[in-house]
Structure 1
Amino acid sequence: MIPYGRQDISAEDIDAVTEVLRSDWLTQGQAGPRFEQAMAAYCGSRSAIAVSNATAALHIACIALDLGPGDALWTSPNTFVASANCALYCGADVDFVDIDPRTYNMSVSALAEKLEAAASQGRLPKIVVPVHFAGQSCEMREIRALADRYGFRIVEDASHAVGGEYLGRKVGSCDYGDATIFSFHPVKIITTGEGGMALTNDPKLAERLSYLRTHGIIRPAQRPEEPQGASRIAEERANEERDGPWMYEQIELGLNYRMTDIQSALGTSQLARLDPFVARRRELAARYDTLLAKLPVACPWQHPDTNSAWHLYVIRLHRNEIRLSRRQVFDALRAAGIGVNVHYIPVHTQPYYRKLGFQTGMFPEAESYYEDAITLPLFSRMTNDEQDTVVAALRKILA
């Protein structure tokens, strides 16, 4: 079976992990900060906070931006459920913005229209989560302009897009958003096994993210400056007690979302090969475009402002030109040893979200896209012969 995605683990990766396993620190050592600093430097952001997975990063980003009951978060229906669930974890409401029929990302025009209506009703979102689907950045410059006009915060769900670019800058630079979220799941572009990261240019946001991932606990040296007029009871403690090396203070209700040193070492090693990984994915995507040109499918369209990291290569079947349903094509490809997948079932159609009042028909572009979509195999070690096998199987089935 040719899988739709596969991790690329080298001998150097294994050596990096083994070195940590032989050390005194399996977690909370120096491997984590090294990974964070390397990723921030690569993306051009001020700070990076490594966590246990991208869902955790989304969650603490929402907490750090003070999302709570009575607030709303908007995201794309064409995403994994975590992009919406993070709001519900905070007791906030969720809504969706339909997708652009070309990029399959959040539609800027739909967002602008929805914001205008929400402003007239006094129901604007506190946070908008644009999802960089398949590795292609959303139109962040335009979304930033809307944020400035309507006053919402931006958390970029770039789980698919590490190594991608927008307007000549790396995704993760946080030029347009308050925070950017990466995923390092094994099918993503680089992996830490499980893992995620939040990047930001806001020092106060970075500080809060750092202690939210660690139970809300700080050490005395990390103690934030108390606001003017706050209680000074803590200052009355004996200095030797207050500053003892054993001391820690829980200043907020946080979570245990840390990334281990084992994972961080793997991530740092993988990051050294990120550019070659992305370059190979771009080669394969361009090759798919050529090989599929005469088949009754739509290949992914790329916005000229973006340079995708190509986490996924998704085609849409021209069902009016073939006699088979999407399910029949999918099953036939699987039977031929091609590990295709479908990304994504629109979040608002999930049973849990139906219970919240969402219904089929509310976001027609996302629903139409889903009915036609099939994700073809794409990974950095995929050979041209494997890709030819995929295309030959698809050609035979569609014929």
Structure 2
Amino acid sequence: MSSLKKNDYIPYGLHSVTEEDIEAVTDVLRNKPLTQGLKVEEFENAISKQVCADYCVAVNSATSALHLSCLALGVSDNDIVWTSPISFVASANCALYCGAKIDFVDINPSTGLLDVSKLKIKLKKAAANNSLPKVIIPVHLAGSSCNMQEIFNLSKIYNFSIIEDASHAIGAEYKESKVGSCKYSSITVFSFHPVKIITTGEGGAATTNDTQIANSLKKLRSHGIVKDHNKFINSAEGSWNYEQQSLGFNYRITDIQAALGLSQLKRLKKITEERNYLLNFYRDILKDLPISFLEIPEFNYSSVHLAIIRLKKISKKYYYNVFEGLKDNNIGVQLHYKPIYKNPYFEKFKFNKEEFQGAEIYESSAISIPLFPGLKPKQQMRIKEILQKLL
């Protein structure tokens, strides 16, 4: 990166791997079990300590963690789950895997986060129609927490459970509590995909303070099998015996991945600080352009997974020209995300886009520009120069 040429490609996100990370992985390859060893438990304990949660269950992806979280909360046929329309499809798919119905709560386009005022209206209508959700999944887009205290207060009135989709938000804080502490939720889910804050290659985790939920997550991630004889339904025939007590899945994460995650977790504070610094530098150098940045709500310390700009001029042609112009200049950009209900699979559910004006406005104006550890000031200045010309 230090010898950057004028036309070198700058991705919107990039993993950061150090020699210490490589050594941690090779140590497992040389000396330890590759899977179902002790590194996974060590990684889980380190995450629990980091986010101040009682339990952590690591799995092979955040999608798996979301699926198991729904199952652990008893989501099944004809239940209703609500989430944000501005998220990766996994936030909605996890409910569909369980046979539940999915619906969306509109966002505030300034933050990209679930709009609590619209949630209150939707809950009131659902209560009148006897169609309240069993679970709501707020999505912490770009590393900033939704207003979890208000959502939690509503859960006590309307009797729904909460899964925080914090795939973008390990290292973030809300009202001086770590995201993942589950102070305002039953479960929090993290992603460790390569472009996320820390990575295990592919991987995810769920944190909780509920012993029963934690046990359910652990059993479901490994075929529904129980090996602890004290928890057997039938009497154990011998030390070799195990029981499959429910239908589960092979969602396990490996010790190789856990070792990488453990090493990366040691740098979490440094990584989030650098991400915040890079975002603030962008804010400074782009302040005179006709754009705004996605707002970070009050009471938040964001992990800044993404740098999302919003164009002040709303026009399909204008958006297309800016987006494609950046790509043509080797600047990696992305839309995080188009509304889930606009995907062909979801069209059969016939969602009324008029109910999601915030999501529609957001889609027409939001562009993720490059932000990752190691991004250089001269790269950011090059992005500024190209944006100036395009805008």
Shift, 1:318, TM fit:
1.4
d(CA) in 2 for partners of 1:5, 1:149: 40
Give the equivalent residue in structure 1 for 2:6.
Answer: none
d(CA) in 2 for partners of 1:14, 1:166: 32
Which segment is superposed worse, 311-320 or 145-154? 311-320
* Counterpart secondary structure, 1:162: coil
1:205-261 residue CA offsets vs partner (Å, 9 max, x unmatched):
00100010000001134617x7xxxxxxx34xxxxxx16221110111010000000
Structure 1 residue 283 corresponds to structure 2 residue 283: no
Give the equivalent residue in structure 2 for 1:220.
Answer: 228
2:330 paired residue among 318, 327, 337: 337
Shift, 1:268, TM fit:
0.3
d(CA) in 2 for partners of 1:243, 1:18: 39
Shift, 1:323, TM fit:
10
Conserved? CA contact 2:168–2:305, under 8 Å: yes
2:166 paired residue among 152, 158, 167: 158
What amino acid maps onto 2:285 in structure 1?
L
1:155-207 residue CA offsets vs partner (Å, 9 max, x unmatched):
00000001011001111011000000000000101000000000000011001
d(CA) in 1 for partners of 2:283, 2:266: 28
Give 1:215-294 correspondences, 5 Å limit.
215-221=223-229, 223=231, 234-235=234-235, 242=236, 244-294=238-288
d(CA) in 2 for partners of 1:23, 1:254: 30
Give the equivalent residue in structure 2 for 1:63.
Answer: 71
Change (3 A) 1:350 1:222: farther
What amino acid maps onto 1:55 in structure 2?
T
Conserved? CA contact 2:186–2:208, under 8 Å: yes
Shift, 1:24, TM fit:
4.2
Structure 1 residue 2 corresponds to structure 2 residue 10: yes
Give the equivalent residue in structure 2 for 1:130.
Answer: 138
Give the equivalent residue in structure 2 for 1:11.
Answer: 19
d(CA) in 1 for partners of 2:29, 2:324: 43
Change (3 A) 1:336 1:361: same
Q: RMSD over aligned Cα, in angstroms?
A: 1.3
Give the equivalent residue in structure 2 for 1:239.
Answer: none
2:106 paired residue among 87, 95, 98: 98
TM-score under structure 2 length normalisation = 0.96
Equivalenced residues, count: 383
d(CA) in 1 for partners of 2:15, 2:230: 37
2:186 paired residue among 178, 199, 217: 178
d(CA) in 2 for partners of 1:70, 1:323: 38
* Counterpart secondary structure, 1:315: strand
Structure 1 residue 297 corresponds to structure 2 residue 305: no
d(CA) in 2 for partners of 1:380, 1:112: 38
What amino acid maps onto 1:193 in structure 2?
G
Which segment is superposed worse, 29-38 or 96-105? 96-105
Give the equivalent residue in structure 1 for 2:379.
Answer: 386
Shift, 1:103, TM fit:
1.3
1:55-95 residue CA offsets vs partner (Å, 9 max, x unmatched):
00000000010000120000000000000000000000000
* Counterpart secondary structure, 1:209: helix
d(CA) in 2 for partners of 1:104, 1:139: 12
1:12-71 residue CA offsets vs partner (Å, 9 max, x unmatched):
000000011112400000010000000000000000000000000000000010000120
d(CA) in 2 for partners of 1:220, 1:99: 44
Conserved? CA contact 2:229–2:242, under 8 Å: no
Structure 1 residue 78 corresponds to structure 2 residue 86: yes
Give 1:108-127 correspondences, 5 Å limit.
108-127=116-135
Shift, 1:287, TM fit:
1.0
Conserved? CA contact 1:220–1:243, under 8 Å: no
Shift, 1:362, TM fit:
3.0
Give the equivalent residue in structure 2 for 1:229.
Answer: none
d(CA) in 1 for partners of 2:253, 2:328: 38
d(CA) in 2 for partners of 1:323, 1:107: 24
What amino acid maps onto 1:166 in structure 2?
Y
Give the equivalent residue in structure 2 for 1:316.
Answer: 310
Give the equivalent residue in structure 2 for 1:23.
Answer: 31
Give the equivalent residue in structure 1 for 2:359.
Answer: 366
TM-score under structure 1 length normalisation = 0.94
d(CA) in 2 for partners of 1:217, 1:107: 40
Shift, 1:101, TM fit:
2.7
d(CA) in 1 for partners of 2:285, 2:226: 55
Query: Runs (4+) of structure 1 moved beyond 6 Å?
Result: none
* Counterpart secondary structure, 2:353: coil
Give the equivalent residue in structure 2 for 1:350.
Answer: 343
Residue segments in structure 2 that go unaligned for 5+ positions in a row = 1-8
Conserved? CA contact 1:349–1:359, under 8 Å: no
Give the equivalent residue in structure 2 for 1:377.
Answer: 370
d(CA) in 1 for partners of 2:111, 2:197: 19
